[in-house]
């Protein structure tokens, strides 16, 4: 049982971090970023290149991922999303753009980094073993700690800095924020860059444990969608809750339902649909997203 909870916690922390970036972008611009998973993969490959190919320290790899993805996010917002949102009759048109960007990143990743699975050698060796009740390799514990630290840092940033306040105001009411003198364009850009950076950082963190490959983008986006549906779209606390809940569900479900064959994910998906039928806005979301 302890092992199941520990697994759930570890999964939950990484999921929450993925969901945070997605929900931030959504809350600011009402854009469902289909390319989020691809940004995560890109971040992973950047860290891989820096650490495994150039032989530089892991921290530098993480920083490189963060910077490159932040710049990419900012550029995507300024040159792609902003003009489309301005010209389009419907909000939904951004979905096509996001899907196009997802395909584009897939193609770029294939050309730049190749089709193979990549991984960075373990950064810490050894396995923590508490009497066979909890078994957790040290590198996972490190990643778990880093992920929780990043979540805390992100919350602090949103809560206590000027940019954070501005972004929260934007998420609450775009027009009102604008009237209060918030530079909407500037903070949309910063928000998108921050969201993309988070995706890249998670990719960089996880490349040491799960490795990275071209195919992880799309499924990661879908998982992130599920998390923000559970928690409520566009709500920071919701994304964190959604991440941890999904992590726990997977961990518990895989153990309890193992005997029944291939149905764990079916059960997770089905219960999600039932849950949303009763609570359409998720746990903490605003009604009608």
Partner 1 sequence: MTKTYAVLAAFLLTIFVLVPVTISATGRWDLYYTLTSVALLSIGAAGVWLTFYIGRINIGQGAYALMGGYVSAVLMTQAGFSFWATLPLAGIFCAAISVLIGLPILRLRGVYFAMITLVLTEVTRLTALALSITNGAKGITSIPLPGELSIFGLTLIPDFSTMDSPKPAFYLLAVTLMVLTYLVLWRIVNSRLGHLCRSLQQNEELSASIGVNTAYLRVLAYAISSFFGGLAGAVFVAISQSIYPSSFAVTDSVNFMLYCFVGGLGYVGGPILGTFLLYFGWDLLSAAKEYQLLIYSSAMIALMLVLPNGVLSLFDRKGRRK
Partner 2 sequence: MNRRTILKTTALATVASFVLSGAVFADNPVLKIGFVGVTSGPAAAWGTSNQRSMETRAAWINETGGYDIGGTKYDVEIVSFDDQKDPKRAIAGMEQMAQAGIHYVVGPNVDDGAAAVRPVAEQNGIIYFPYAFPKELYTAPASNAVLGMVANYQSGPAIYKYLMDNNGVKKVAFVAANESDPLSQRDSGSAAAKALGLEVVSDSVTYQVDTTDFTPVLLPVIQSAPDLLVLSGVSPANAPQLIRSARELGYTGLISTETAQDAAVLQEGAGELANGFISVGGASTPELASDAMVEFVDRYTKMFGEYNDESNTKVYALEYILATMAANPAAIDNVEEFKTTMDTFEAPNPYMKGDAKLKYVGMTSFGQKRQLSVPLVVNTYNNGAFETLFVAQVD
| Residue 277 touches which member of partner 2, partner 1, none, C-beta under 5-8 Å by kind | partner 1
* Binds 178: which of partner 2, partner 1, none (CB < 5-8 Å by kind): none
Question: Which residue number, 128 or 265, has a Cβ lying nearer to partner 1?
Answer: 265
* Binding partner selected for residue 118 from partner 1, partner 2, none, CB under the kind-specific 5 to 8 Å limit: partner 2
Report the distance separating Cα 207 and Cα 47, nearest Å: 7
Per the listing, tokens 């928690």 go with: 231
Binding mask 240-269 for partner 1 (x = CB under 8 A): ---------------------xxx-xx--x
Q: For residues 1 and 277, which CB has a smaller minimum distance to partner 1 in the complex?
A: 277
Separation in Å, CA 82 to CA 40, 76, 196? 22, 9, 16
- Give min distance, CB of 272 to partner 1, in A: 7
Compute the distance between CA of residue 29 and CA of residue 68 in angstroms, rounded to an integer: 21
Residue from 57, 83, 153, 215 touching partner 1 (CB under 8 A): that is 83
CB of 237 to partner 1, least distance (A): 17
Binding status of residue 288 toward partner 1 by CB under 8 A = yes
Which positions touch partner 1 (CB under 8 A)? 26, 32, 34, 80, 83-84, 87-90, 92-93, 95-97, 99-101, 103-104, 106-108, 110-111, 218, 222, 225-226, 228-229, 233, 261-263, 265-266, 269-270, 272-274, 276-277, 280-282, 288-289
């Amino acid at each position: 049982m302890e092992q199941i909870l520990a697994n759930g916690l570890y999964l939950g922390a990484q999921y929450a971090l993925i969901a945070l970036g997605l929900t931030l972008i959504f809350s600011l611009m009402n854009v469902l970023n289909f390319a989020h998973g691809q940004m995560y993969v890109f971040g992973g490959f950047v860290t891989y290149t820096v650490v495994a190919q150039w032989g530089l320290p892991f921290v530098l790899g993480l920083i490189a991922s963060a910077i490159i993805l932040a710049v990419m996010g900012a550029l995507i917002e300024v040159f792609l999303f902003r003009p489309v949102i301005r010209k389009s009759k419907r909000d939904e048109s951004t979905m096509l753009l996001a899907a196009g960007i997802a395909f584009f990143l897939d193609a770029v990743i294939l050309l730049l980094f190749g089709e193979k699975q990549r991984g960075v050698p373990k950064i810490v060796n050894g396995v923590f073993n508490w009497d066979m009740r909890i078994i957790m390799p040290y590198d996972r514990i490190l990643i778990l700690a880093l992920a929780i630290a990043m979540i805390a840092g992100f919350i602090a940033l949103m809560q206590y800095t000027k940019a954070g306040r501005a972004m929260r105001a934007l998420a609450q009411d775009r027009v009102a924020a604008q009237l209060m003198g918030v530079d909407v364009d500037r903070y949309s850009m910063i928000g998108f860059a921050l969201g993309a950076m988070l995706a890249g950082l998670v990719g960089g963190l996880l490349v040491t444990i799960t490795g990275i490959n071209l195919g992880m983008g799309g499924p990661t986006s879908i998982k992130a969608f599920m998390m923000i549906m559970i928690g409520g779209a566009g709500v920071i606390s919701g994304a964190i809750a959604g991440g941890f809940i999904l992590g726990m569900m997977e961990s518990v479900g895989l153990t309890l339902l193992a005997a029944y064959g291939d149905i764990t994910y079916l059960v997770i998906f089905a219960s999600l649909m039932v849950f949303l039928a009763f609570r359409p806005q998720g746990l903490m979301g605003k009604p009608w997203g």
